[in-house]
């Protein structure tokens, strides 16, 4: 290895079109480096570029970087390899496009296991689809889960009695597992967050959310 450089091997998936399949990064920024030109705001992003980037990103197929922090850079390279329109832009501008999609709720890029993926492959998309279909999320083979509103109300009542009238939301799933031997999955009830499930009117007869610490 060379001092000051980090080599990120992309593996066999990155070796195509005559490329060697790795990316090299500087460990430290050069003196007087003021950053790449990547500060792309939505109003500054031409619609044609945004649409082109979204279409290509949703197809997916880029190699995984060795370090998850480098995913944006690998995707930037990949975009310019797969789009003549984006290849005409400066690399930093395309990086800005990628960062814009990462930082905004556009449903173009998402995450799975901490890696950037096309949104339809993301954990958020899976959760939304499960909530739409009233299916549990993240269960392992053989695990049981709370399946009905009646069962949920009964279990919540038991937790509140044991907890002296309250239970911390952040501990609720763990407590369900320990006390009832079942998983509590909000998507089973059409919700994507536990907080929105507990705020559902069908839980109102059993519990209420204390927002005094917010």
One domain for residues 106 and 149: no
Flag whether 79 is in a domain.
yes
pLDDT band, residue 80 (cuts 50/70/90): very high
**What is the model's pLDDT at position 6?**
67
pLDDT band, residue 207 (cuts 50/70/90): confident
Flag whether 111 is in a domain.
yes
One domain for residues 100 and 153: no
Q: How far, in Å, are 28, 153, 164, 177 from residue 200 at the CA level?
A: 50, 12, 22, 21
Distance CA 110, CA 102 (A): 7
Residue 121 has pLDDT above 80, yes or no: yes
One domain for residues 116 and 138: no
Mean pLDDT of 135-148: 95
Q: Which residue has the higher pLDDT, 49 or 126?
A: 126
Angle at 162 between CA 191 and CA 196, to 5 degrees: 15
How many domains would you assign to the chain?
2
Q: What are phi and psi of 116, to 5 degrees?
A: -75, 130
Q: For residues 51 and 77, is the Cβ–Cβ distance under 8 A?
A: no
């Amino acid at each position: 290895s060379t001092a000051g450089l980090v080599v990120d091997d992309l593996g066999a998936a990155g070796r195509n079109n005559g490329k060697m399949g790795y990316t090299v990064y500087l460990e430290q920024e050069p003196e007087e480096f003021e950053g790449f030109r990547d500060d792309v705001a939505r109003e500054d992003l031409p619609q044609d570029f945004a649409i082109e980037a979204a279409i290509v990103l949703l197809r997916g197929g880029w190699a995984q970087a060795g370090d998850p922090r480098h995913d944006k850079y690998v995707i930037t390279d990949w975009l310019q390899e797969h789009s003549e329109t984006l290849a005409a832009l400066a690399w930093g501008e395309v990086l800005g496009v990628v960062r814009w999609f990462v930082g905004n709720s556009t449903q173009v890029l998402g995450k799975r296991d901490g890696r950037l993926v096309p949104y339809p492959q993301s954990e958020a998309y899976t959760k939304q689809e499960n909530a739409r279909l009233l299916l549990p999320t993240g269960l392992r083979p053989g695990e049981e889960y709370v399946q009905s509103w009646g069962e949920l109300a009964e279990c919540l009542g038991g937790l509140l009695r044991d907890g002296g009238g309250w239970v911390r939301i952040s501990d609720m799933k763990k407590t369900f597992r320990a006390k009832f031997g079942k998983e509590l999955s909000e998507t089973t009830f059409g919700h994507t967050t536990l907080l929105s499930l507990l705020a559902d009117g069908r839980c109102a007869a059993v519990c209420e959310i204390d927002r005094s610490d917010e």
